[in-house]
Structure 1
Amino acid sequence: MMASYPSSSIHLTCLRCPSGSPCISSASPFLRFFNSTIPGPYLKKHPQILSSKPPRRRSFVTSTSTRTQMAATEEKPISQDRMLVFVPPHPLIKHWVSVLRNEQTPCPIFRNAMAELGRLLMYEASRDWLPTIMGEIQSPMGVASVEFIDPREPVMVVPILRAGLALAEHASSILPATKTYHLGFSRDEEILQPTLYLNKLPDKFPEESRVLVVDPMLATGGTIVAALNLLKERGIDNNQIKVISAVAAPPALQKLSENFPGLHVYTGIIDPTVNDKGFIIPGLGDAGDRIFGT
């Protein structure tokens, strides 16, 4: 039995690509985004780099409903009370999602594909989000104006065990300064409800923290909602969180949209349905089992 969740019940916002055309997923009419990030904490070696600068954000979107074909409409400011879902259009993301889908992919390659997909999604999510420092340094040929990521404000990475470990594997290579806190959930396969078995979150997060929550599969939404509620209890607002997932489905996105306005979700692809056992269809199977060969 397959439970169908019509995407038209989820109202999100589509961000325009730099080309000016709407970013439309071939699998689902949700959102996409482009990216960049610059590594390099050099405060100790370059004390003259002192002025901090807040992260920049794009300021215009196209408002739409998933009932439409996302035709071009007039631009309007980003709504701060609407959850946004981004499906980046990069061909490498499509490639690694395809490798993950293949039932013939062996465990080592599956794990590597998950890690590479996580690297790309975190790269996408970090655009216009990281605090930067501007200043001047001496290059071999002269004085140069420079901009670095501010290492005094590390990004918190929260992988949800087990499978989140692989998706977050390259976080430290993407982000110059990170702290990692682990959450472990198991899911009752009968009632499809999560049970927390490991919580390494701090009692209180510093103000202005930026948190990447990494969970490969957003299916029924029980686990990710429970994880975000733990973050909110520790002082994190919705707009301080970005969720990274390999595959998402409408039930989870609906719950997130209802409970966490202003949240941003970055996923490799959105699949249409979840079956009665809580698995995304077509999905990629049990991500934890395929990563660890169990």
Structure 2
Amino acid sequence: MSTLTVIDHPLVKHKLTILRDVATPFPTFRRVLRETTWLLAYETTRHLRVESGTVETPLEEMTAHSLPNPAPCLISILRAGNGLVDGLMDVMPEAAVGHLGLVRNPKTLLPEEYYCKLPSEIEKRQVILADPMLATGGSTIAAIDRLREKGVRNLVFLSLLAAPEGVEALQSAHPDVPIFTGALDRELNEKGYILPGLGDAGDRIYGTE
């Protein structure tokens, strides 16, 4: 699992405990997810390139560094990915944002695209793809396939939780894509949910069932 980084931080562990708790109400879940994303963003954005320039401080001119143009891009796998992207936008407001909608076909069990809206010059941007749960890996692989079709090469994936099965599937399909996650859980159940997990992230973000 050389491309996998588990962001092992005390505050991430603490906040994941709140998110896992079945008694946590959805307004609290939403807030804590956003706070957790701020912490995960530190390691996830470490790969970003910067460009040198000059800035005038109150005392002198100096060489400084800024994000390049076009700005990095955050891609949400709808709908739960919005929970991570909202937090990422807080720490990186310069970033453009795109959305990919994928749904599992009930007959083939394969992901199918129902929505795609991406920023211009996506092929030139540094991209962070976000989805709270890396379970089977099917949706993530399909999303990366789509981004590759658009010319994206500089890409990392961020999840809140991951299952070993999903990590293995993603690494097999896209071995060059770094994976960042808050925790590597035990396994998937027969329905494809992560154990111990935290349930359906989208439902818990938006208060739906």
Counting only pairs closer than 5 Å after superposition, residues 149-228 of structure 1 correspond to structure 2 as 149-188=66-105, 192-201=109-118, 205-207=122-124, 209-228=125-144
Using structure 1 for the length normalisation, give the TM-score: 0.66
Among residues 100, 113, 129, which one is paired with 2:19 in the alignment? 100
Q: Which residue of 2 aligns with 1:129?
A: 48
* Distance (whole Å) between structure 2 residues aligned to residue 283 and residue 190 of structure 1: 26
Contact kept, 8 Å, 1:203 with 1:234, in 2: the verdict is no
Instruction: Give the 4+ runs in structure 1 shifted more than 3 A.
Output: 188-192
For residues 201 and 138 of structure 1, what CA distance do their matches in structure 2 show? 37
- What is the CA distance between 1:172 and its match in structure 2? 2.3
CA distance in 2, matches of 1:119, 1:130: 19
Task: Give the Cα–Cα distance (whole angstroms) in 2 for the partners of residues 164 and 227 of structure 1.
Answer: 12
Deviation at 1:175, TM superposition (A): 1.7
Counterparts of 1:189 and 1:112 in 2: how far apart (Å)? Answer: 32
Aligned length: 208
Among candidates 251, 256, 259, match of residue 170 of structure 2: 256
The higher radius of gyration belongs to: 1
Offset of 1:148 from its aligned partner?
3.0
Quote how far apart the aligned CAs of 1:193 are: 2.6
Match of 1:234 in 2: 150
Q: 1:32-60: CA deviations, max 9, x gaps?
A: xxxxxxxxxxxxxxxxxxxxxxxxxxxxx
Counterpart for residue 33 of structure 2: 114
Partners of 1:112 and 1:130 lie apart in 2 by 29
C-alpha separation in 1, matches of 2:20 and 2:106:
22
* Residue in structure 2 matched with residue 55 of structure 1 by the alignment: none
Question: What is the deviation of 1:192?
Answer: 3.9
User: Which of 186-195 and 97-106 deviates more?
Assistant: 186-195
Structure 2, gaps ≥5 residues long: none
TM-score, normalization by structure 2: 0.91
Distance 2:181 2:106 in 1: 24
> Displacement of 1:150 after TM fit?
2.7
- Segments of 5+ residues of structure 1 without an aligned counterpart are 1-11, 14-83
Question: In structure 2, what is the Cα distance between the partners aligned to 1:193 and 1:119?
Answer: 32
Residue 255 of structure 1, CA deviation: 1.3
Name the CA shift for 1:90/1:147 in 2 (closer, same or farther; >3 Å).
farther
The structural deviation recorded for 1:104 is: 0.5
Q: Which residue of 2 aligns with 1:20?
A: none
Tell me the residue number matched to 1:29. Answer: none
Q: Percent identity over the alignment? A: 37
Other structure's SS at 2:172 match: helix
The alpha-carbon distance between structure 1 residues 136 and 199, as it changes in their structure 2 partners (threshold 3 A), is closer
The 2-side partners of 1:280 and 1:192 are apart by 17
Counterparts of 1:189 and 1:113, CA distance in 2: 32
Q: Please list, as runs of the form range in 1=range in 2, the aligned pairs for 1:4-23 lying within 5 A after superposition.
A: 12-13=1-2
Structure (1 or 2) with the greater helix fraction: 2
Q: How far does residue 147 in structure 1 lie from its aligned partner after superposition?
A: 2.0
Q: Tell me, what secondary structure is at the counterpart of 1:182?
A: strand
For 2:90, the aligned partner's letter is: S
- Aligned-partner SS, 1:159: strand
